[in-house]
Amino acid sequence: MEIFLEEKKSKNLKTEAVVFGIFEDSDFSKKENFPNFKKEAERAKFKGNLGESFFYSEKLFEPKKQVLFVGLGKKKDYGSQQARNSAALAVRKLQERNILSAEFWLHPEEAKDKKIEIISAITEGLILTNTKYQRFITDKEKISKGIEEFFICVKKEDKDFEKGLKIGEILSEAVLFARDLITSPSNEITPQYLAEEALSLSKAYGFKAKIMDEKECEKMGMGAFLAVAKGSQNKPRFIHLSYKAKGAKKTIGFVGKGLTFDSGGISLKPAEGMGAMKSDMSGAAAVLGAMKALGELKPKVNIEMVIAACENMPSGSAMRPGAIIKSMSGKTIEVQNTDAEGRLTLADALTYIQKQNVDEVIDLATLTGACMIALGTDIAGIMGNDNDFVDYLLKISQKSGDALWQLPLESNYIRFIKSPIADVCNISRVRWGGAITAGLFLKFFVENKIKWAHIDIAGPAYRDDDLNENHRAEGAGFGVRLLAKYALENS
């Protein structure tokens, strides 16, 4: 899809449809140009709420075009999330009618302030809804092209509109890149594949790259990471990218869980739904996606990005339940369930990144089914050792669209992950509060002086339903925009 900013409206544009955003609290009787608006809106039960839309019954303008009205909700609530979702809804509705080109007349109040943010969000809503993962569909007739041209009609004299479009395009490309990695199957996306993607990013944007193989990881003492990797023929890769900016005042660490497939290992998962575990590298995809966006946007802040990429497989060489392993930190871990593998790989990744002079660390991981049970498919859980840091990320998430909810790192629950014969156990003795005990396990490997936030994205990372406006049966690219925006705010 190509998006253009355009001052001319309708008459001079060769589009098939015009989209209007309507606020819930706008005066419907004043739609002089649409004599039947009130009647038709009533029939469609359209009140201008977010999520509502209807096509006007007749074509209007010259040349004749279809007219789509989309609800924007209340003026006072309008922000990037509303902009993103209403644009996404417009794309779905236009696609239902196989419309290939459209123009969007921005309501004058829609982009009144926060122009960059609003135009960026609209761009994201358009591109991300219009793009579908179709790489493995060989029947050309079944491949949908989506909308080809979209004109956003605004007064162009304001450079902020251009800027918003550019940022929106960069963020969307980065999210699509992450989605692609997540949705692509694990027979293609191996640890080595992720390493090669990281290398391509380093070439494209001048990042420093370090890829470590099994031997090098062994030298570093990464016993926890390697124990998980042991069962697979596809060898592990420890991936480290650095972005250094002139005049940067801070260094942020990004850590992504990079299980390119999680079968559970010897503690094998049930067959049903196991295929979705190709998405257990969604944290890795998010940090790579964020690096791609930041390579383009070049914020004035240093970033260290780390992924401990491997596969969790059962085999004669796989780690056994009951094993006691030694992590890079020197701490020992009793492994009572080989399916709680993410925290083992992250323990070493966290130890490694804390040696890179970072001021703060954010890890993203599809860590627990428990978090998915607690918060559902649209919201990720966030925990951390510094409340101001967590609050700041919560604030950013409201703009980026990656919904977060804080869970407490209740220190009383540490008793559940104690091991009688090692420093810590990789699972809890009780069923309850699994997202929190996983967070506490990670905290065990984090030094107090470093601000740390852990985001459990098990729910929103990947979905096989078709409900949300912004994505469908594929990887979501959750977290890419959150991390990119966080880095930009620290610029």
> Which residues contact Zn ion by CB under 5 A?
259, 262, 280, 339, 341-342
Query: What binding mask, one character per residue, do residues 398-437 give for ligand BES by CB under 6 A, x or -?
Result: -----------------------------x------x---
Min. distance of Cβ 94 from Zn ion in angstroms? 38
Contact window for ligand BES (CB under 6 A) among 23-31, 111-119, 242-250, 335-343: 335-343
Length of the chain: 491
Looking at 183, 351, 368, 490, which residue binds ligand BES (CB under 6 A)? 368
**What distance in Å separates the CA atoms of residue 165 and residue 64, rounded to the nearest whole number?**
28
Min. distance of Cβ 246 from ligand BES in angstroms? 39
What does residue 228 show for φ and ψ, rounded to 5 degrees?
A: -70, -40
Looking at 345, 366, 385, 397, which residue binds ligand BES (CB under 6 A)? 366
For Zn ion, the closer CB: 144 or 317 = 317
Contact window for ligand BES (CB under 6 A) among 217-225, 293-301, 332-340, 375-383: 332-340
**What distance in Å separates the CA atoms of residue 273 and residue 295, rounded to the nearest whole number?**
35
Q: What is the strand order of the sheet 424-425 is part of? A: 324-326, 332-334, 424-425
Residue with tokens 């954010």: 362
407 touches which of Zn ion, ligand BES, none (CB within 5 to 8 A by kind)? none
For ligand BES, the closer CB: 202 or 234 = 234
If one asks whether residue 341 binds ligand BES (CB under 6 A), the answer comes out as: yes
Question: Both tokens of residue 364?
Answer: 């993203």
Contact window for ligand BES (CB under 6 A) among 18-26, 366-374, 416-424, 444-452: 366-374
- The SS3 of residue 376 is coil
User: Residue 185, preceding bond cis, omega within 30 degrees?
Assistant: no
For ligand BES, the closer CB: 63 or 322 = 322
For ligand BES, the closer CB: 341 or 363 = 341
Q: Would you give the DSSP letter of residue 445?
A: T
Active-site annotation holder among 75, 269, 300, 320: 269
If one asks whether residue 186 binds ligand BES (CB under 6 A), the answer comes out as: no
* DSSP-assigned beta bridge partners for residue 360: 252, 451
For ligand BES, the closer CB: 171 or 340 = 340
- For residue 158, the one-letter residue type is D
If one asks whether residue 337 binds ligand BES (CB under 6 A), the answer comes out as: yes
If one asks whether residue 458 binds ligand BES (CB under 6 A), the answer comes out as: yes
Residue with tokens 């590298």: 281
269 is catalytic: yes
Min. distance of Cβ 243 from Zn ion in angstroms? 27
For ligand BES, the closer CB: 370 or 442 = 370
Active-site annotation holder among 343, 443, 481, 485: 343
343 is catalytic: yes
Min. distance of Cβ 187 from ligand BES in angstroms? 18
Min. distance of Cβ 371 from ligand BES in angstroms? 8
202 touches which of ligand BES, Zn ion, none (CB within 5 to 8 A by kind)? none
CA neighbor of 436 nearest in space, from 451, 456, 452, 419:
456
If one asks whether residue 372 binds ligand BES (CB under 6 A), the answer comes out as: yes
For ligand BES, the closer CB: 79 or 369 = 369
Site for ligand BES in 264-293 (CB under 6 A): 280
For ligand BES, the closer CB: 117 or 402 = 402
Question: Both tokens of residue 48?
Answer: 């201008």
Half-sphere exposure of residue 248, counting CA atoms within 13 Å on the CB side? 20
If one asks whether residue 221 binds ligand BES (CB under 6 A), the answer comes out as: no
3-state secondary structure 302-326: EEEEEEEEEEECCCCCCCCCCCEEE
Min. distance of Cβ 379 from ligand BES in angstroms? 14
Q: 252: part of which helix (H) or strand (E)?
A: strand 251-262
**What distance in Å separates the CA atoms of residue 273 and residue 88, rounded to the nearest whole number?**
28
Contact window for ligand BES (CB under 6 A) among 31-39, 300-308, 338-346, 415-423: 338-346
What does residue 364 show for φ and ψ, rounded to 5 degrees?
A: -120, 130
User: At a CB cut-off of 8 Å and minimum separation 6, what does 113 contact?
Assistant: none
Q: Would you give the DSSP letter of residue 65?
A: B
- The greatest distance separating any two alpha carbons of the chain, rounded to the nearest whole angstrom, comes to 79
If one asks whether residue 370 binds ligand BES (CB under 6 A), the answer comes out as: yes
**What distance in Å separates the CA atoms of residue 397 and residue 47, rounded to the nearest whole number?**
28
**What distance in Å separates the CA atoms of residue 217 and residue 461, rounded to the nearest whole number?**
28
Tell me, rounded to whole angstroms, the distance of Cα 91 from its chain centroid.
Answer: 20
Residue with tokens 């469908």: 472
Min. distance of Cβ 376 from ligand BES in angstroms? 12
Cα–Cα distance list, 190 to 220, 308, 406 (Å):
22, 12, 32
223 touches which of Zn ion, ligand BES, none (CB within 5 to 8 A by kind)? none
Under the rule (CB under 6 A), what is the footprint of ligand BES? 262, 280, 337, 339-342, 366-370, 372, 427, 434, 458
Q: Which residues are catalytic?
A: 269, 343
